[in-house]
A and B are shown apart, each in its own frame.
Chain A
Amino acid sequence: MHGFKGERTLMRIHIGERDKDPRSGRRLYQAIVELLRSREYAGATVFRAIMGYGASAHVRSDRVEVLSLDLPIVVECVETEEKIAAILPELDEMIGGGLITLERARVIMYRPGIPAQGETGGWEIDVAGR
């Protein structure tokens, strides 16, 4: 049973595995997730990519040993447009090299044990959020 359906913003942050947070010195992807969680954002997921290149044109690949030492990382967060806009200045200070993309996403949310709210029935996605 699905619950909420509506529009949110999907934020994707592309960074490197070895990037560090300039303020605390911890892993940047870990610092970002902890920041989002401390501000009670809906969620965040970190993916480690197996291959890629970016602005530096430096190829990373898990197929070649010396290229596998700093693989790409993508941090995804789905939240309301306002909350995403609110966190961007802070992320701006933390990220040295990388990319943030913002997409409009239509969300179908599933939560076990919580009765469906605002469900319209069928698979028509309504635009109005909670």
Chain B
Amino acid sequence: MNLLWYVALGSAVGGVSRVALSTFIQQRAGPFPIGTLVVNVTGSLALGFLLRYTLGSTSVSAETRALLTTGFCGGYTTFSTFSYEAITLIEDGDYRRAAAYVVASVLLSLMATFLGILAAAELLAARRTF
């Protein structure tokens, strides 16, 4: 089956998960777009781990990789919403919040990716010495 179907399925689940979680968090927060921040950071953690682990292990097929990484993580995280929210904060003159949002999103996502990769490497190494 074409890989795109696996991506489609993963993206659908990812996108819906994002809206559900992001809405739940944002309803309980103020104007700061913390919902998007949370999904982007957790998605980066997940992708870092999933992609590095599945590429290092032959027990996961290419189709499953596509479903979990390009599919789910791709649909779960969002760059467009992040960009829109940042621009909106700037439009409203809320420059401090805009800067904090952009810096936090980029830094925390990169750190989360790195941690995910570390976890994958640890798990792969532990599997080998078992």
Contact = CB atoms under 8 A, between A and B. Distances in A.
B62 A65 contact: no
A48 B97 CA distance: 47
A126 interface: no
Interface stretch (A67-75, A104-112, A116-124): A67-75
Nearest to A70: B62
Chain B interface bracket (under 10, 10 to 19, 20 to 34, 35 or more): 10 to 19
Interface string B30-55: 00000000000000000100010001
B129 interface: no
A71 B55 CA distance: 9
A68 B55 contact: yes
B58 A18 contact: no
Interface residues of A, number: 11
A81 interface: no
Contact of B70 (A62, A66, A71): A66
Contacts of B55: 50, 62, 68, 71
Contact of A18 (B51, B62, B70): B62
A47 to B, nearest CB: 10
Contact of A71 (B3, B51, B62, B69): B62
B66 interface: yes
B84 to A, nearest CB: 23
A17 interface: yes
B18 interface: no
B120 to A, nearest CB: 13
B54 to A, nearest CB: 9
B66 A69 contact: yes
A18 B63 CA distance: 8
6 contacts: A18-B62, A65-B47, A66-B70, A68-B51, A71-B55, A71-B62
Given A65-B51, A65-B69, A69-B62, 10 more contacts: A18-B62, A18-B63, A65-B47, A68-B51, A68-B55, A69-B3, A69-B70, A70-B3, A70-B62, A71-B62
